[in-house]
Structure 1
């Protein structure tokens, strides 16, 4: 049985965006690749930029992996250490996957304004990751695994920023540019967050 049109459209969009970028991609091409009617893109997502924000905000496989890595809080600080290391690894993969999808939107002034407006209208954007990590760290803090004096919003911002910088550096310059291995850098970030 074929996947629903909405999911076929999301899958086709993710693949085509990586191949072509957003600026040159048309809704007609997406519909053809998804074996769906072009109008179903407007019906389900409000257009190409609504489709892009949905993909980045909820439907990238790498985002699902990041969310899956956010294991339920326990009172044991060692469990938090393991959870944060897994979440950091998944967050780096998400930021690496999202960079080529966002690049086309921000490189064109009119696309960027439309992308920003769509994020504003939908309540989506990069702040969601920081908000979710803040909530996650707060839950661990309430279980006693994180220092009660720690500012979880700042820790979440540091976590997301470190993951994004790692992903962007790997993507734009190469994986061996930063000192130490990826695992060692993740360990250092986690150690810093848990001090």
Structure 2
């Protein structure tokens, strides 16, 4: 049985966005690749920018893997450390998957303005990752693993920023452009956040 049209559209769009970029991609091409009606893209997503926003804010498999790694808080500090190492690895994968999807939108000023307006209208954007991590860390704070005066928002911002920089550096320079290996860098960030 074929997946529903919405899922076929998301899958086709993710593949085509990586190959062509959003500036050169048409909704017609997405619809053809998804074996779906072009109008279903507008109906479900409001157009290709809405589709891009849906992918980046909720539909990418790498984002689902990041969210799945957010294990329930315990009262054990070593559990938080282990969880953050896994979550960091998944966050890097998400940021690596997102870069090719947004690159052409960022490169075109008109397209970027429209993409930003779509994020504003749908209350989506990169801040969602920081909000998710802030909530997650606050859960650990409520167990006493993080002190009550720990700034979980600042920790989340640093965590997401480090993951994004790692992902973009490995894509734009090389996997070895930063000192150490990926796992050692993740551990170093986690150990800095929760010494």
Shorter chain as normaliser: what TM range? over 0.9
Instruction: Report the number of matched residues.
Output: 195
Match of 1:111 in 2: 111
Tell me the secondary structure at the aligned position of residue 175 of structure 1.
Answer: coil
1:147 shift after superposition: 2.2
Tell me the secondary structure at the aligned position of residue 125 of structure 1.
Answer: coil
Q: Which runs of 5+ in 2 are unaligned?
A: none
Match of 1:83 in 2: 83
Q: Aligned partners of 2:111, 2:21: CA distance in 1, in Å?
A: 12
Q: Aligned partners of 1:69, 1:120: CA distance in 2, in Å?
A: 27
Tell me the secondary structure at the aligned position of residue 144 of structure 1.
Answer: coil
Tell me the secondary structure at the aligned position of residue 75 of structure 2.
Answer: coil
TM-score by length of 2: 0.99
1:24 shift after superposition: 0.7
Q: Aligned partners of 1:21, 1:116: CA distance in 2, in Å?
A: 16
1:144 shift after superposition: 1.2
Q: Which runs of 5+ in 1 are unaligned?
A: none
Q: Aligned partners of 2:18, 2:101: CA distance in 1, in Å?
A: 7
Match of 1:194 in 2: 194
Q: Aligned partners of 1:22, 1:173: CA distance in 2, in Å?
A: 23
1:148 shift after superposition: 2.0
Match of 1:121 in 2: 121
Match of 1:167 in 2: 167
Tell me the secondary structure at the aligned position of residue 156 of structure 2.
Answer: helix
- CA RMSD across the alignment: 0.6
Q: Aligned partners of 1:30, 1:81: CA distance in 2, in Å?
A: 41
4+ aligned runs moved over 6 Å, structure 1 = none
Superposed counterparts of 1:57-76, under 5 Å: 57-76=57-76
String of CA shifts for 1:118-144, please: whole Å, max 9, x gaps. 000000000000001000000000011
